[in-house]
Amino acid sequence: MTYQYVAYNESGQIVKGKLSAASEEAATELLGYAGYRAVNLKLFVPFLNLDKLTAGLFRVKPNEIILFYRQMAMLLESGIDIIAALELLRLQTVNRALKNVLGDVIADLRSGSQLSAALAKHAAVFPPIYCRLLGVGEQSGDLETVLNHVADYMEKELATSKETKNALLFPVITAFVTVAVIGVLVTFVLPSFGKLYQSLGVELPLATRLLINTANQIQNNIAYILLAAAAITGGLAVYFRTQAGRYRWDKILLKLPLVGQLTHLNELARFCRSMSLLFHAGLPLTEIVSLIARGSRNRVLSQALADVQQGMVKGEGLSGSMSKNKLFLPMMVQMVRVGEETGNLDTTLLAVARSYEAEAEDKTRRLITLIQPAMTLIIGLVIGLIAFSLTSAMYSMYGQDF
C-alpha cells in the first residue's frame, strides 16, 4: 500500500512524500529508519486509480489462476519459501490486475498473515472455497498437494464450461445469421416489391399483402422498435442484476426445455465435485455446504444448499435434508446416503459428479444434433414463406388486365 506523509527531518525541515509499506505502523518505522519524524501519515488515494481501472478492464482469467497454483506448488516443492515464490511469480505475471493482487498478497504475508488469509481478501480472483482449502493445507503442512488438487479441480470445471460454450456456439451463430437475413429481406427486399406491385396496380394475394404491410410497418417504425427493444433489454438487464432478478433468472434457466436439464446436471456435478474435494480435505459437512452455497453461481441451488445446511443443524443429516428438495435428484440423494453410512462420502460424491458430467456431455451432443437441423428448418421455412408470397404475386399478375 502507498502512504503519503508530512514529516520533520533531522534538520527540523518539513518534508513531504510517498512510500510503500504493508501497514501504517510499518510506514512509521520506515520513516524513523530514514531519520524522519512523522507529523501526518495517511493512505494515498489517487484521483484516478489506475490499478482499479486496469483490474476492471483486464480481469484475471481462470487459466491464469490454474497456472499460478501449479507454479506455486512446484516452487514450494523445490524448497523456495512462500514470499520468494510469490515475488518470482509476480515478476513473471503479464496480467496487470493479477500482478497488483500478488503485490498486496506479498505485503500481507510480510505483515504476518497466512497465504490463505491474504488470498481470501481478493475473493474476485481467489474464491473463498479454494482459500479455505489452502488454509487446510497450511495447517496440515501439505500446501503443495492442496495447490495441485485445486488446480486439477479448476481445470476440470473450466473444461466442462468450455465444452458447453463451444456446443452452443453454432446455434448462436445460426440464429444471428437467421435474424440478419430476415432483417435484410424485411427492410430492403419486401418494400421494393411492394412499391413495384403498387405502381402496376396489381391486386395481390392475401399472404403477400400481409407480408408487405408488415414489412412497411417495420420500416416506418424502425426507430421506435429499436428504442423499445433497447428499453426492454436495459430494463431486464437492470432487473436481473438485482438479487430477486438473479434468482428468477437462475430459476428460468433450470426450467428451460433441453437447456434446463443440461444446466441442472452441470450445477449438480460441480456441487458434488466441490463437496468431495472439501470433505477429502477434512472439513466438516456444515462448513462445506456453507462454502459451496456462497460460491454457487446459481442462486436457486445456493438457496437449496442453505436449506440443507439448516436441516443438518437440526440433525436431519445430509441425505435427509437433500431428499426434501426436488432439485437434488434421487440417484444423488441415494448415493449420498450410502456414502454417509459407509464413511466414503468423498468417493461416492466423486462418482456422482463423474456420472452427471458424462450425462451432461451426452445431452450436449444430442442437443447440438437437434438444434442444427431445427435452425436450418426454421431458416428454410421463413425464407420459403417470403419467396412463396412474392412468387404467388408474380403469377397472379398473369391473370389480371392492366
- 345 burial level (CB within 10 Å; 0-12, 13-18, 19+): buried
Write the DSSP symbol of residue 61. Answer: P
Residues 380 and 290 in one domain: yes
Rounded to two decimals, the pTM is 0.69
Q: How far does the chain reach from its first CA to its final CA, in angstroms?
A: 86
Instruction: Write down which residue in 126, 152, 177 finishes a domain.
Output: 126
Residues 104 and 247 in one domain: no
Nearest residue to 302 via CA among 335, 262, 271, 341 = 271
Residues 41 and 57 in one domain: no
Say how many domains are in the chain.
3
Residues 402 and 324 in one domain: yes
Residues 290 and 331 in one domain: yes
Residues 65 and 168 in one domain: no
Residues 119 and 156 in one domain: no
Per-residue pLDDT of the chain (402 residues; tens, 9 = 90+): 677 778 877 777 777 777 666 567 777 777 776 677 777 787 766 554 554 555 445 678 888 999 999 999 999 998 888 999 999 999 888 888 888 899 889 988 888 888 988 998 888 888 888 888 888 888 888 888 889 988 988 888 888 777 777 766 777 787 787 778 777 777 777 777 777 777 776 677 777 777 778 777 877 888 888 899 899 999 988 988 888 888 898 898 888 877 788 889 988 998 998 888 888 888 888 888 888 888 788 899 989 998 998 898 888 888 999 999 999 999 999 999 999 998 889 899 999 998 998 898 888 888 777 777 877 787 788 778 777 777 776 776 665 554
Residues 387 and 259 in one domain: yes
Residues 176 and 60 in one domain: no
Contacts of 107 (CB under 8 A, 6+ apart): 1, 21, 22
In three-state secondary structure terms, 3 is strand
Q: Are 338 and 138 in contact (CB under 8 A)?
A: no
211/216 Cα distance (integer angstroms): 9
For the chain, what's the residue count? Answer: 402
Q: What is the CATH number of the domain that holds 219?
A: 1.20.81.30
CA distances from 247 to 232, 330, 354 (A): 19, 24, 27
Nearest residue to 97 via CA among 154, 58, 149, 45 = 58
Residues 278 and 376 in one domain: yes
Return the half-sphere exposure (C-beta side, CA atoms, 13 A cut-off) of residue 156. Answer: 18
Instruction: Write down which residue in 86, 104, 126 finishes a domain.
Output: 126
CA distances from 263 to 39, 75, 322, 339 (A): 59, 38, 19, 25
b/e per residue 216-246 (b: at least 16 CB within 10 A): eeeeeeeeeeeeeeeeeeeeeeeeeeeeeeb
Nearest residue to 126 via CA among 86, 76, 170, 182 = 86
333/152 Cα distance (integer angstroms): 26
Residues 207 and 331 in one domain: yes
Residues 24 and 103 in one domain: no
Give the domain range for residue 102.
52-126
